[in-house]
């Protein structure tokens, strides 16, 4: 590739009917393909995707157990490989092995994100009053998305962030923001009510 070319992320991988195992294990022209890839050839990237996307997808699916997550990991692996192609050293690893290494790291990141999301959900459930516990799990799933908090006014948004992302108690939030404890609890309750209403509307529209 000559000059500067916009990077286009590959579409989410969806497994084809069959990829011959020999294509994965007996790759005598990897050196040539690697040279093209390191030089910035998008044709080489497409060839790598054709050869090894099924392998990467299979690793992700076995580890994560979710088709959507596996597709997302596969896409991220190839984007990361393209952006980091200058780090590939053909004297240390074959191209396929290097790609598998990126896949392992990306899968580990996906597991770490799931663990953080789970801790956030558990923190929300633990801090909610009894009268909102019945719908807190649904809200917890949405609160891990930053866009949800961004829709709240500044004051309540700060309270919610400290309570549910920094895992502070209501008293600690009040002390951090120099705010009465009753005000903190009111902000949290009103914010959760507002989120519940919006999510119920979204559910009705689906």
> pTM of this prediction?
0.51
CATH of domain 21-112: 1.10.1740.10
CB 56 within 8 A of CB 73: yes
Distance CA 30, CA 27 (A): 6
Same fold, 21-112 and 128-205: no
CB 127 within 8 A of CB 152: no
**For 154-197, what is each residue's pLDDT tens digit?**
888 888 888 777 778 888 888 989 989 888 888 888 877 776 66
Stretch among 135-139, 193-197, 198-202 having the lowest mean pLDDT? 135-139
The per-residue pLDDT for 120 is 67
Radius of gyration of the chain (CA): 23
pLDDT more than 70, % of the chain: 66
CA distances 178 to 124, 152, 159, Å, are 22, 20, 11
CA distances 24 to 31, 42, 50, 55, 149, Å, are 14, 20, 10, 8, 45
For the domain made up of 128-205, give the CATH fold.
Answer: Arc Repressor Mutant, subunit A (1.10.10)
**For 79-97, what is each residue's pLDDT tens digit?**
999 999 999 998 888 899 9
Domain boundaries, the chain: 21-112, 128-205
Stretch among 55-59, 92-96, 125-129 having the lowest mean pLDDT? 125-129
């Amino acid at each position: 590739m000559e000059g500067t070319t916009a990077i286009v992320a590959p579409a989410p991988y969806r497994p084809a009917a069959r990829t011959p195992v020999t294509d994965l294990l007996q790759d005598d022209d990897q050196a040539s393909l690697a040279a093209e890839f390191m030089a910035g050839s998008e044709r080489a990237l497409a060839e790598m995707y054709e050869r090894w996307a099924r392998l990467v997808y299979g690793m992700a699916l076995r580890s994560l157990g979710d088709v959507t997550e596996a597709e997302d990991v596969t896409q991220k692996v190839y984007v990361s490989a393209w952006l980091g192609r200058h780090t590939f050293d053909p004297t240390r690893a074959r191209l396929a092995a290097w790609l598998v290494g990126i896949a392992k790291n990306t899968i580990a990141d996906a597991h770490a994100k799931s663990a953080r999301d789970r801790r956030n959900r558990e923190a929300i459930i633990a801090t909610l009053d009894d009268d909102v516990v019945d719908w807190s799990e649904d809200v917890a799933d949405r609160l891990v998305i930053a866009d949800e908090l961004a829709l709240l006014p500044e004051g309540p948004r700060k309270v919610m962030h400290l309570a549910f992302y920094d895992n502070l108690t209501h008293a600690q939030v009040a002390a951090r923001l120099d705010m009465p404890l009753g005000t903190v609890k009111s902000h949290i309750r009103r914010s959760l009510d507002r989120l519940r209403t919006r999510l119920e509307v979204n559910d009705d529209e689906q």
